[in-house]
Structure 1
């Protein structure tokens, strides 16, 4: 896990490690910063860009540049949001707060667009499709506007609005609306969709490990599980930046899905777990979707 030790953990003998943000003197302090990073890495096995930047009083960008230089020297291996010791397994990082939809939509945009295009092509021949909330499922829905003979069932008001006026028939669950995500949830929505059977469900996730896949929200996770229970083919869309990340709610195990669509090969431990669960892994190439 990442080390979030308080600022007081910085040795008092190195007060010059914490300059003001307006005057970082980055090059002058570089050796001291990098020594601090390597010490933390040796003791914890991993470091977080945000945590280290906060402790040293410098910007995230400064720490990222340090990590790039240390990686060139073979001293560490960078991962999303931080770094780990070389040749060690990447730690699982816990995401506590859900970023806003628009921020998530911009993050990893090329990879998500490739995943969305591949997913849309795979489900085009199905008649009844359950579409989850999320940024990648939203991007996928753009490809379905001109798809004939498809009935789309969703709890995402963004997806239903995007498909409004298109060829698919769209059915939206009834219930309470969760603000920024524009998702419908609650017992009414669950009861409505529990009576249906879908050819295919397309699910999003906030993170994926060898143990399962995750979401930030209890409410949205409830509908995801309905889709998983009531669908013949269960497709998880998850870009590679979400590997080895988890959040509040475990939605399901890898054995609960039949296919994973991502934009890069999963790490070895996740790949082995996917193979053991007999999950069909499809890699979407951002270059191919451009």
Structure 2
């Protein structure tokens, strides 16, 4: 006999608390009910504040309430000084994915800019980027570097707008390396609507989509959602995510790479 709704919902909340994240399908299998029943339960549990629904499942509401971030984007120079060692470790781990001949999309941001520094250690890549800083850094490196047209967003020195979007859609990429301002079980976030339009193109055109994100951005969100977790293939970071985010990444099939700064520097 199927347990009463209140009993089932208590079990459901306990399962999510234990695992950090559960998909709707797994909830249904564990409790022996239909997915439609689970969705009704999730609606009720979200209404009373017990759980937070995410794409495909749920997390505990109190564990995955994102920490507010500044609505206004901090200056590039200020951001680049924060968590610098972690960003160097992440960039080195990202570099290990690449081989000569690869075609990559390099997003704007401080961690992707650190990857641009490391790309000088390689040869023979085709690099499409909307970052004027990264392009300037790589101008004399042994790579083919391409910039789209478009409007310059002066605060970030990024190229954006319909011209940039239209041009970047002409290319297929082996890898896209993406920067974000925050990541939660609900997805990836950024400060800028215009830069997010370019990130979306990178996601559409890349065979492998890699988010470079230090652990200070876990459980943080900003004004613009970039994508659901299911749209990315790999997250490279410097520390294990908290359980709700870790569970959501597993459920979305995202490969997690933890590049601890000390270990990376020792191997380098």
* 1:156 counterpart residue number: 131
TM-score after normalising by structure 1? 0.68
Say yes or no: does 1:92 pair with 2:66.
yes
Higher Cα radius of gyration: 1
Deviation of the 1:93 alpha carbon = 1.5
Counterparts of 2:77 and 2:109, CA distance in 1: 10
5+ unaligned residues in a row in structure 2: which ranges?
A: 1-61
Contact 2:131 2:158 survives alignment (8 Å): yes
* 3-state SS, counterpart of residue 143 of structure 1: helix
* 1:275 counterpart residue number: 250
Say yes or no: does 1:285 pair with 2:260.
yes
Deviation of the 1:123 alpha carbon = 2.2
* 1:39 counterpart residue number: none
Contact 1:215 1:248 survives alignment (8 Å): yes
Deviation of the 1:89 alpha carbon = 1.9
Counterparts of 1:123 and 1:260, CA distance in 2: 15
Q: Deviations over 1:154-187 (max 9, x none)?
A: 0000000010111011000111100121000011
Deviation of the 1:126 alpha carbon = 5.3
Counterparts of 2:215 and 2:65, CA distance in 1: 15
> What RMSD, in angstroms, separates the aligned Cα atoms of the two structures?
1.1
Counterparts of 1:206 and 1:174, CA distance in 2: 24
Alpha carbons of 1:112 and 1:146: their partners in 2 closer, same or farther (altered >3 Å)? Answer: closer
* 2:170 counterpart residue number: 195
Say yes or no: does 1:253 pair with 2:228.
yes
Deviation of the 1:100 alpha carbon = 0.4
* 3-state SS, counterpart of residue 198 of structure 2: helix
RCO higher in 1 or 2 (8 Å CA, sep ≥ 6)? 2
5+ unaligned residues in a row in structure 1: which ranges?
A: 1-87
* 1:17 counterpart residue number: none
Q: Equivalent of 1:103, from 78, 84, 95?
A: 78
* 3-state SS, counterpart of residue 96 of structure 2: helix
* 2:237 counterpart residue number: 262
- Between the two proteins, the alignment pairs up a number of residues equal to 203
